[in-house]
Amino acid sequence: MNLNLPDAVQTYFDVSNGGDISRLAACFYTDASVTDENRTHQGIAAIEAWQQETRQTFTYRVEPLAATQNDDSLTVTARLVGNFPGSPLQLNHVFLLQDGQIRTLEIAP
């Protein structure tokens, strides 16, 4: 499904699906945070390390299914399929956007 997502969010999903990890710096604030599996990754270096670690551990694809905008918050429901326990999963990605970049991202069922 093709959704009309903000550039920063689309870039995040492109990177999540195997794109160049260095592109994360263009879509996240330098002090941004990502919370996934009850762990928070603060700053670009930590976010890049989280993506790299996830890629080394699992093979997966994420497909955005629906998006709901509420002021600066964007919730994207996505299907995650891969070689991890519980696959496939449907997860909510809650982005806090500011000036076209991602300030925070929380990923949860």
pLDDT in tens, 70-96: 988 999 999 999 999 999 999 999 999
Domain count, the chain: 1
pLDDT in tens, 11-57: 999 999 999 999 999 999 999 999 999 999 999 999 999 999 999 99
- What's the CATH code of the domain at 63? 3.10.450.50
Within a domain: 2:
no
Structural domain that includes position 55: 7-108
CB 80 within 8 A of CB 92: no
Cα 41–Cα 67–Cα 55 angle in degrees, nearest 5: 40
Within a domain: 31:
yes
Within a domain: 78:
yes
What is the residue whose two structure tokens read 């300030």? 103
Within a domain: 59:
yes
What pTM did the predictor assign? 0.94
Q: Which pLDDT belongs to residue 88?
A: 97
Within a domain: 1:
no
Residue type, 48: E
Q: Which pLDDT belongs to residue 81?
A: 97
Within a domain: 47:
yes
1 pLDDT higher than 70: no
